[in-house]
Every structure is written in structure tokens, then in C-alpha cells.
Amino acid sequence: MTKHPANSWEARADAHSFYGFTDLPTVADRGTIVLTHGKGPYVYDVHGRSYLDGNSGLWNMVAGFDHPGLIAAAKAQYDTFPGYHAFFGRMSDQTVMLSEKLAEVSPFERAKVFYTNSGSEANDTMVKMLWFLSGAEGKPQRRKILTRKNAYHGVTAVAASMTGKPYNSVFGLPLDGFIHLTCPHYWREGRDGESEAEFTARMAQELEDVIAAEGADTIAGFFAEPVMGAGGVIPPSAGYFQAIQPILKKHGIPLIADEVITGFGRTGNTWGCETYDFVPDAIISSKNLTAGFFPMGAVILGPDLADRLQAASEAIEEFPHGFTASGHPVGCAIALKAIDVVMNEGLIDNVQALTPLFEEGLARIAEKANIGEWRGKGLMGAVEAVKDKDSKTPFDGSLSVSERIANACTDQGLICRPLGQAVVLCPAFILTESQMDEMFDKLNRALDGVFAEVG
Ligand SMILES: *Cc1c(COP(=O)(O)O)cnc(C)c1O
């Protein structure tokens, strides 16, 4: 029950909106923050308060909240052709052009693109594509999907099954046949005395062992985020992808890169797989794809999967799958502009230019007694709160340290939601150096306040 007056925005939000991924005690206590607009990397609430959004919305508003070129592209497309589908041999001109562009900027020599409305749907679609291939290629038992603990692949029944987080047990998930390997987080998962190279070798050996135990011909695919995002910004241990990809290749298991966060610049290159120097068999894209200005996801198939899916579809004359708004012309027009803005209007350059300053800021925060580790790549980073630095012991759950940090940040005018006990920063790519300083100053003050209470 809210303590806010019945006609307040806070009470009205409570009355008829069912919250997802929201800490209900916090909302009951502090009220929902109801936002009206944004400017650059800032958002403004109904009371006129401004917040620097250190998470660029949900990782996706990389060009800020009022980018004039993106707004103009959306308006122009609404004026021209405000909606269409991509079924029955029809699609908009914008859809054709976006697929050409995605193929061109992909790491593949040839590519084909399938559109969805979200990252979850794109992962679901990829799994259905792999299952479709298994049937069509006479291997109907080839259905298991490998991912990692702490991975985040979305919330639909399949994407949630791929996600390696304990909260999905409340839904009776994962579904059968979704297998979660060890999270390649050296700081947390490395054993005493184990070098990073030995750790990576152990991850590869685990993959070999799981494939041997399950049977290579029962496994349809391996999905991985180049840097785990919602798991708490976890870059892989050194050499991880170089160690696992040959094993997958040897067993004919496709490697799918879930680049929903890392795609289009977050790690300082167009793709996270570029940053980590591997070429997957397909890429899942969403979030930055439209710079957050339209809900859209895409499966980008490399040549091998594209050819095999084409053959399997031709055999039954169609691929029986698609969403009403797949390839929406307004979304495609926005994505075309967003890709141009990120790649050609200096946003990736700014990510690269800001990365040293960003890393310095994270490293300074990690000097605190209650920060166990900082980690990151490009403009995605995290610091991990711990009760004890040497033993890496987390704070007791009952202290709600994550929520305290989030709320202390909000009080400072900074939006920055912790994930687990890690505090995640993933600002917009348009950030200036002074806004970067402001972000770290606010986070510093918030953390000092919280650690003074619970440390
Ligand atoms: C956000 C996210 C998804 C899910 O995307 P939605 O659009 O929320 O369905 C999938 N994979 C990764 C890596 C993500 O970060």
C-alpha cells in the first residue's frame, strides 16, 4: 500500500500499473519515479527533478533522450508509411535497406536478417530456427541449448530458460534441455592458486565434458553474450572465446553471440565479438539497434546458418514464424539512422575516447574497503560491493545493500541500478567528460553514505 496521496502520480502509478523487475518495498516507501522527458543523458520527473541516467535507460538510449536526427527519422517515416508487416512476400523499402545495412556492418561475408520486437523474441526466434534445422536435417534429437550461469537472454519462456539466474525458478523454469555452464568470471569463480589461463582452460574442459556427457548430437547451439550484461557486467576470462569456439566447431555446434547490449558500440567496436576477436555463427541484436527509440530485435545469420535455413524452408515452402510488427518500417528507418549516428557521427569514437576516463573512475571507486572488484569493457562497467574485500564475502541479503545504493544514487540525482551487489554503469555514448565526472562524484557520495551505514 502506498503512503502517497490518491491523486499523486506515485499513487496513480501503483493503482493500475503492474510492475516488473521492481522492488516493491522501495516503491511503496519512496514512490515510483514518473518521468516526463529527457535531454541528452538526463531524464526529468513530474516534480521537475533531473537525473543523470548512468544506465542510459536499459543500456539502450545510447544517443541520449532527445537526439534530433533520430526524432526526425521517426517523424519522416511516420509521414511516409507508418506501419507494415513482413509476411506473405511483402515488406517495406526501409526493411530491405536495413537488412542490407546490417549485412554490410556485420562481421559476416554474407548475412540474412530476421526481425522481432525485442531481444527476448530474437533469442526465441534463433532457438526455433535451430530446432527447425534439427528436424529438417534429420536430427530431431538435436534440441539442447547451452548457455552460462548469470547469462541474461530475456524473459519469454525460452529466453528465460536460457537466462542463468535463480529468479526464474518461480516460474518453474528453465524448461528441460537448457543447460547452464559455469560463468567465466575469474574473480568470483577462479579457484585458489588458479591462474587466469588455467581458469579459462577449465571452462573449456567443462564444455568438452558437458558435450561428452549430453552427446554432441543432442545439442542445438551455444549462446553467449561477449560481455555478460545483466549478470553484472562480466567480461570473459582472457582467451575464453578462443578456447571454446574450436570445441564447438569440432562438434558442429553453432556459437550464437547475444549482442543485444554489446552490439553497436558499447565495448568500443561495432560488435563485442570484434572486441574479443571471434566470428560467431549468428548475432542477436536489439537495444542499441534503434538507440532505444523503437522496440526492435534482429537475428543476423552468418552464411552457413543462412544457407541451411534457406534450404530447410524451401523444402516446406516457408519458414512458419514471424511477428505482426517484424520489420516495422518506422523501426527500420530509426535503426538505419541509429546505426549511422553510432558509426558515423562520432559515438563509437566517443566511447573509445571516454573509456580510459571511465576505467579510471571505476578503479578509484574500487579503492574503497567495501568494493571487491571493478570490471568492464568500453562504456560498460561495474564495481562489486563486498562485506569483506579479502574473502570476497558479499553483504548479508537482509541489508538490501543493492537497494540502498540505488536509492542513495537517486537522492544524488543519479540513476544507476545495481545488479546483485554489483553497481552497474553504462552511460549514453554522448556523455561529456564533465558529465562523466558528475556521474562518478554522485556515485562516490552515494556509496560513502551507504557504506557508512552498513560497512
Ligand atoms: C536486454 C537483453 C535481452 C532481452 O531483450 P528484451 O528486449 O528486453 O526482450 C536479451 N539479451 C541480452 C544480452 C540483453 O541484455
> Is the C-beta atom of 255 inside 6 A of ligand 1?
no
125, 147, 153, 273: which to mutate for ligand 1, most atoms within 8 A of CB?
Answer: 153
**Residue 124 Cβ < 6 Å to ligand 1:** no
Helix locations, 137-257, DSSP H: 157-162, 186-189, 196-214, 240-250
Distance 155 CA to ligand 1 centre (A): 8
* Cα 264 to Cα 261: distance, rounded to the nearest angstrom: 8
Q: Which of 208-212, 261-265, 413-417 has the lowest mean pLDDT?
A: 413-417
CA distance 403 to 418: 7
Using the predicted structure, report yes or no on whether residue 326 has a pLDDT greater than 80.
yes
Q: Which atom of ligand 1 is nearest to the CA of 259?
A: 13
Segment 335-370, tens digit of pLDDT: 999 999 999 999 999 999 999 999 999 999 999 999
Contact 300 CB / ligand 1 (< 6 Å) = no
Res. 1 pLDDT band, cuts 50 70 90: low
pLDDT value of position 3: 82
Please, which pLDDT band fits residue 420 given cuts at 50, 70 and 90? confident
Mean pLDDT computed over 240-248: 98
Name the nearest CA neighbour of 98 among 301, 332, 339, 337.
Answer: 332
Model confidence pLDDT, tens digit, residues 186-214? 999 999 999 999 999 999 999 999 999 99
pLDDT at 61 exceeding the cut of 60: yes
Alpha-helix runs per DSSP H in 150-233: 157-162, 186-189, 196-214
pLDDT number for residue 2: 63
Confidence bin at 441 (pLDDT 50/70/90): very high
- Best substitution site from 234, 261, 266 to test ligand 1's pocket, by max atoms within 8 Å of Cβ? 261
For residues 223-229, give the mean pLDDT: 98
Phi then psi for residue 382, to 5 deg, are -150, 150
Query: For residue 419, what pLDDT is reported?
Result: 87
Q: Is the pLDDT of residue 322 over 90?
A: yes
Ligand 1 binding pocket includes 230 (Cβ within 6 Å): yes
Rounded percentage of the chain residues whose pLDDT exceeds 70: 100
To the nearest 10°, the Cα dihedral for 158, 335, 330, 297?
Answer: 0
Distance 61 CA to ligand 1 centre (A): 14
Question: 448 C-alpha to center of ligand 1: Å?
Answer: 32
Question: Is 259 close to ligand 1, i.e. is its CB under 6 Å away?
Answer: no
Whole-angstrom Cα distance, residue 43 to residue 35?
A: 7
115, 138, 45: which is closest to 332 by C-alpha? Answer: 115
Confidence of residue 121 (pLDDT cuts 50, 70, 90): very high
By C-alpha distance, which of 27, 46, 19, 24 is closest to 35?
46
Q: H or E segment at 113?
A: strand 112-116
Average pLDDT over residues 130-155: 98
Average pLDDT, the chain: 97
User: Which of the listed residues 55, 56, 116, 152 should we mutate to test ligand 1's pocket, taking the one with most ligand atoms within 8 A of CB?
Assistant: 152
C-alpha of residue 120 to centroid of ligand 1, in Å: 6
Lowest mean pLDDT among 38-42, 60-64, 341-345, 395-399: 395-399
User: Residue 325 — φ and ψ, nearest 5°?
Assistant: -100, 15
In this prediction, residue 324 carries a pLDDT of 97
For residue 405, what pLDDT band results from cuts at 50, 70 and 90?
A: very high
Ligand 1 mutation pick, 120, 147, 299, max ligand atoms within 8 A of CB: 120
